[in-house]
Every structure is written in structure tokens, then in C-alpha cells.
A and B are shown apart, each in its own frame.
Chain A
């Protein structure tokens, strides 16, 4: 099983600043990685797939990078609606998916 390790577990940032979230895979997964945003009481929302392709309608302040085992989600100019839990997901093998444990992005 491919293990995804996200860091940090919690990130405190002020609105208007930038946030950098990391996701490390236990083995190489090429660019087969997605990022999701999850708020309480809502469905998880896909932000990024293919490690760096932003979903239509997702603001340009969200960007993803990386390949292999190291991945990053960067959110610039944080807005209040961006504070949520973020998960990475690997799909390197069809329907043998795993998620990271999540990073909680909170208002400083």
C-alpha cells in the first residue's frame, strides 16, 4: 500500500498570506496525485489532479506541483473561505487509492 504523509498536521496562517502544504508518497507515483478541500458538513471538493492541473472553476491562487514522491499545494493570498482541511490522494493503481491524513489550515 502506498502511504501518503502530509505535513504539517495543522497550519496557522493569516488571511492574505500564503500557505504551503506538503504531501510525501512512500514510493514513486509519477503525477498521479489529487488535492481536495473539505469543510465540515460539505462534500470534499476536488482542487487539483495530475499533481498540477487545476479543476475548472478553482481560483488561480491554488496551485499544485511535484512528481514522484514529493508534492506541494500552495495557496496564495488566503481568503477566509480557504480555511479548511486539505487532503492529498494517490491513484497510481486503479482503485487502490489512499489518502493522506490531512492538513488543517486554520486562521492565525
Chain B
């Protein structure tokens, strides 16, 4: 069974830093891209960041670019999200999710493989003084 376990959340002051971890099991981690998605209180889902299978390419939402860094350690089957210069608006539940491929792949039909499945239960981040 594929499982994702997020850890590292907590309460941090504005301007502070936090590193989230997502440990995977049940699949060949090094073959798949991974992503982080967050949900602020009372809000919807927001895609945050992604990293391809070999870690060579990383991607960010504009709201976190320059402040967050995604990385992975395939030997530990773990993906990380280093968060710096945290703001109140970064307060959210942070979910880790698995991509269906290791990198961009276009089907002959022109379709892409970009859904996220499965997701972990999330780790809560609260930015408050």
C-alpha cells in the first residue's frame, strides 16, 4: 500500500523557518515526482511546489517562490519543503502527494499525466507571534 507521512509542522513566528518532511513507502520512490499542496484555514487547496524524480528540476507557486525550497533524498525515500521568511498567510495544512510519473510526459493524445495520488494526511503549520 502506498503511504505518505508528513512531519515537521508546528508553530513558528513570522519571519521564521521550518522544514517539512514527507516519508514515502509502498512504491519505488526514486521513479516518481512529488508535490506539496496546502490548505489555509477555511480555504481551498493551493498547489505549492513540485520536484521531479531525480531532483534535477523544481517548481514553485508564485506565492512561495524565493522563500520555499523543495528537495528530496531518494535513499531515504523522503521529500522536503524548507520554508523561510514565513508569513501569517503561510498558515495552512501542508499535504505531500505523489505524481503519476517521474517527470513531464505527454501522451500520444496530447494529454498529460499530472494528477496527484495519493496524498498524505498533512502536517499543520501555524505562523503566529
Contacts and interface: CB of A to CB of B under 8 A. Distances in A.
To the question of whether A and B form a pair in one complex, the answer is: yes
Contacts of A97: 35, 47, 50, 114, 116
B50 A91 contact: no
Contacts of A95: 33, 35, 47, 50, 59, 114
A34 B111 CA distance: 12
Nearest to A101: B44
Interface in A52-73: 55
Nearest to A87: B45
Interface residues of B, number: 27
Nearest to B96: A43
B115 A49 contact: yes
Given A44-B45, A46-B117, A87-B44, A94 B59 contact: yes
By size class, the interface of chain A is 20 to 34
B119 to A, nearest CB: 4
B25 to A, nearest CB: 15
Interface string B41-55: 000111100100000
Contact of A89 (B50, B116, B118): B116
A46 B118 CA distance: 7
Binding site secondary structure of chain B: loop
Contacts of A42: 121
Contacts of A41: 121
A22 interface: no
25 contacts: A30-B111, A32-B111, A34-B114, A34-B116, A36-B45, A43-B118, A43-B119, A44-B95, A46-B115, A49-B115, A87-B44, A89-B45, A91-B112, A91-B114, A92-B114, A93-B112, A94-B104, A94-B112, A94-B114, A95-B47, A95-B50, A95-B59, A97-B116, A99-B47, A102-B45
Interface of A: 1, 30-32, 34, 36, 38, 41-46, 49-50, 55, 87, 89, 91-102
Interface of B: 33, 35, 37, 44-47, 50, 59, 62, 95, 97, 103-104, 110-122
